[in-house]
Amino acid sequence: MSMFDPYDILGLARGATQQAVKAAYRQKVQLAHPDRGGDPEDFIQVVRAFDLLSDPDSRRLFDEAGIVDDDGVRNYRKEVGVILADMFDTAVETAIATGLGLDNVNFISQMSVAVESGLLDAKKRLSRTDREIQALQGLRARIRRNDDDRNLFAERLDAQITSKTAQHLQIKHRVAILETALLELGNYQSEIELLAALEADA
């Protein structure tokens, strides 16, 4: 087992729900943030623990084998950072295009609105993909031959189900990334604090 235990750092039981992980992180990260008098090392550990437990693949690997996939956690964190950087760029471009003074823009609020919109869209696509997979599986169950010869239609449906399942996993991953990005935005009062969190374990 690894010496680094994200559950212990966040004060959580092993079976903690994703909501519990988010709530514990929100509380711990505010106390640990160096800009608010917290210890920089504690802050880094809290962010790392949250990142590991937010990434479904890294969490599963830790839960099953006690392995901390630092590369996986870093990649997940980078994806969250890219989403937030894209949203920041959009907020700046919008402010400039509309003639707003950049000193008067609440970038955290603007970015939150954009992430919420993207998350809503991703959840709709996830739900639609779920329905499509179920429909394909239902049709697949009905496509049978009366002999033992090759079933070309069943093979085609299997390929479609495989493709839709891969698409579903990608959308599910995007939902997780957007949920993490939204949580990060809710934890900080300024872009400076947010940037420090995103760079904590880079």
d(C-alpha 109, C-alpha 23), whole Å: 20
The confidence score (pLDDT) of residue 91 equals 83
The confidence score (pLDDT) of residue 197 equals 58
Report residue 151: phi and psi, to 5°.
Answer: -110, 95
Assigned domain for 120 exists: yes
DSSP-based three-state secondary structure for 172: helix
Assigned domain for 180 exists: yes
The confidence score (pLDDT) of residue 1 equals 42
- pTM score, whole prediction: 0.76
Q: Which residues of the chain have pLDDT under 70?
A: 1-2, 188-202
Counted domains in the chain: 1
- 187, 176, 171, 162: which is closest to 72 by C-alpha? 176
Assigned domain for 1 exists: no
Assigned domain for 165 exists: yes
The confidence score (pLDDT) of residue 4 equals 85
Assigned domain for 77 exists: yes
Assigned domain for 130 exists: yes
The confidence score (pLDDT) of residue 198 equals 59
Q: Is 172 exposed, middle or buried (0-12, 13-18, 19+ CB in 10 A)?
A: middle
Q: What is the pLDDT of residues 129-187, one digit of tens each?
A: 999 999 999 999 998 888 888 889 999 999 999 999 999 999 998 998 998 888 888 87
CATH number at residue 175: 1.10.287.110
Assigned domain for 157 exists: yes
Assigned domain for 49 exists: yes
Residues of the domain holding 153: 6-199
Phi-psi domain of 122 (left: phi exceeds 0; alpha: psi -120 through 50; beta: other):
alpha
The confidence score (pLDDT) of residue 159 equals 96
The confidence score (pLDDT) of residue 31 equals 84
Q: Token pair of 142, please?
A: 């009905």
